[in-house]
Structure 1
């Protein structure tokens, strides 16, 4: 029986229910308006379903799809999981005003996520609100047909971080930001 690690049972944490082996779409159309509690998500996971943890409500996520792009970034030890071999999700408790931090990089105050690029190549995302990260014990089928289980790597609560400092640190190591809205406009 698959269980959600207890580290995700934090005050204010909210969850999205997903189909087994799937990242998208959530089971419910109103997933942003009616997120689930830890206990509801745990019951879904115990029946084999995948789980997403919502960004917002004081939490942000950092997906490192190309971890080598982040090797110079100094981060506190935080809740970390592997999403597939060599790719990671990190979860933080944000301690400053997200709108002000986004204004510092000329982004809208209600930005849901930032797509991250290094040397013109996508390397990850910062999840800010109205989006989610898939967490253990979820799993997915990879392109080659093999199964990848999400694995908890750092079983510690989300570290407190200043979003403005994270964004400045990303820029300092050469990571640029884009948003889904900007990406869609460019297409």
Structure 2
């Protein structure tokens, strides 16, 4: 007696007899496409990127590491999706809320679906004390907004967010 592990949902069945077993031809197994969901197990090794945020409001930089999981590796449906985020700094002033934020964002990444909404939500956070200007003259309304910008940069890098294409008028203006 041979045991077979059922790894997919049963959608139909057929009782095999000697007659239809001999007539049956072997079929190639259907390849299933795995999407991000909360039950995806964390592999031993993840690919990641680290982004440095240096604000004029703090002596110490913030380092944001986003690790990605590769779904459907080596297939036509291969895709890279964020799996977890870590934020670290020598500055302990923000430790409590930064730790909570990383846990919530990581949970959203692992839940699956479209996590790109996080970027706009984080970029819309304003500091009541006022924001600051980054190098290059870009105004940043808060540290949380800058974390959102780092996540946006990462999502563009892995292809989750398509970069905006400049119009001919914008190119001419620049």
Give the alignment's TM-score, normalised by structure 2.
0.25
Q: Which has the larger radius of gyration?
A: 2
With a CA cutoff of 8 Å and minimum separation of 6, indicate the structure with the bigger relative contact order: 1
Structure 1 or 2: larger strand share?
1
Structure 1 or 2: larger helix share?
2
Give the alignment's TM-score, normalised by structure 1.
0.24
